[in-house]
Amino acid sequence: MSKSELCYLCGELIAAGEMSRDHVPPKVLFPTSLRPGLQLLRKLPAHRECNGSFSDDEEYFRAKILMMSERTEGAEAQLRDFLDSVPKSLSLAKRLAGDLTNTTPAGLTLPAGVIGMNYDGTRTDRVVWKIARGLAFRHYGELLPSAPKPSATIGLLQGPQFLRLLKGHEYFQHVRKVVVSREAFSYAYGTERGEGAHLTVFFLEFLSAVVGYAIFHNTDCECPSCADRTK
Ligand SMILES: [Zn+2]
Ligand SMILES: [Zn+2]
């Protein structure tokens, strides 16, 4: 059985009528004007339904990284697309407006004129993890579980400095950086250095402005927290 017949999202076989080819990362995260860069992305096999279950979160993610971006070239291009699709995005826009707040999570009221942003980390983490799984499948031939281990660290950061940090970082080895499209998407990945090392890391840079990260224990890790989970 070849791996290409397996859905990289659920690990099950794909029947002919259920086949879709999913870009990793999803096409929606590429501004239209930068989509020629997509040719460099391999598409992975997935059930139409598995893939489709992410589309709301991917729309949310797209808007969120745009809001977190400085005015980079990629962000400007994505903003033009976003404004072109305003009617379709209205309910999403309402949701995003609901994320704006003048109160911090701890209940502090921010000074006048300062607006903070809540964000639905569950939704954005789900997209970061999906992309990391796709890249792990592609580069390591590994099917990561649909729910990350509790020890995994997943999130979004403003600023691409982390991608630069990873390259040449003493903590990680076999680091590779892949530039898919300078303005839209690059990523770097590697593994922890040293004896007993058990971490894999993916850093995903969007719009030259926002970095998603997934740092997780390898599938075969037998550390106490991973061993606990398999009981
Ligand atoms: Zn599937
Ligand atoms: Zn572990």
Q: CA 146 to CA 46: how far, in whole Å?
A: 13
Distance (angstroms) between ligand 2 centre and the Cα of 226 equals: 4
> Are residues 12 and 6 in contact, defined by beta-carbon separation less than 8 angstroms?
yes
45 alpha carbon – ligand 1 mean position (Å) = 9
Ligand 2 centroid to Cα of residue 201, in Å, is 13
For residue 47, which ligand has an atom nearest its CA? 1
Residue with tokens 């993610």: 61
Residue 206 Cα to ligand 2 middle (Å): 28
Counting ligands in written order, the one closest to the CA of 13 is 1
| pLDDT at residue 73 is higher than 90 | no
Cα of 96 from ligand 1 centre, angstroms:
29
Residue 96: which pLDDT band, with cuts at 50, 70 and 90? low
Q: Please, which residues bridge with residue 177 across strands?
A: 188
3-class secondary-structure state, position 167: coil
Per-residue pLDDT reduced to its tens digit, 120-138: 788 999 999 999 999 999 9
**Radius of gyration over every alpha carbon of the chain, rounded to an integer in angstroms:** 18
3-state helix, strand, coil in the chain (%, to 5): 40, 25, 35
Q: Which residues surround ligand 1, an ion (CB under 5 A)?
A: 7, 9-10, 47, 50
> Would the pLDDT of 84 be above 90?
no
Residue 64 burial by Cβ neighbours in a 10 Å radius (0-12, 13-18, 19+): buried
Token pair belonging to 138: 């592609």
Within 10 angstroms of residue 56's Cβ, the number of other Cβ atoms is: 12
For the purposes of burial, counting CB atoms within 10 Å of the CB of 156, is it exposed (0-12), middle (13-18) or buried (19 or more)?
Answer: buried
Q: How confident is the model at residue 175 (pLDDT cuts 50, 70, 90)?
A: confident
The predicted model gives 6-19 an average pLDDT of: 92
Token pair for residue 177? Answer: 């950086």
Quickly state the pLDDT bin for 94 (edges 50, 70, 90).
Answer: low
Q: How far apart are the CA of 20 and the centre of ligand 1, in A? A: 10
Give the pLDDT of residue 231.
47
The pLDDT value recorded for residue 103 is 54
Give the lowest-confidence range in 34-43, 181-190, 214-223.
34-43
* Residue 10 scores a pLDDT above 90: yes
Q: Which amino acid is at 29?
A: L
Asked whether residue 37 carries a pLDDT value surpassing 70, the answer given is no
Q: From the CA of 154, how far away is ligand 2's center (Å)?
A: 15
CA nearest neighbour of 213 among 142, 162, 137: 162
Distance 80 CA to ligand 2 centre (A): 43
Reply yes or no on whether the pLDDT at 50 is more than 90.
yes
Domains contained in the chain, number: 1
| CA-based torsion, 13, 188, 23, 212: positive or negative | positive
**Residue 216 domain boundaries:** 3-230
Task: For residue 42, name the pLDDT band (cuts at 50, 70, 90).
Answer: confident
For residues 27 and 35, the answer to whether their CB atoms sit within 8 Å is yes
Residue 7 CA, ligand 2 centroid: distance in Å: 25
pLDDT, greater one: 145 or 118: 145
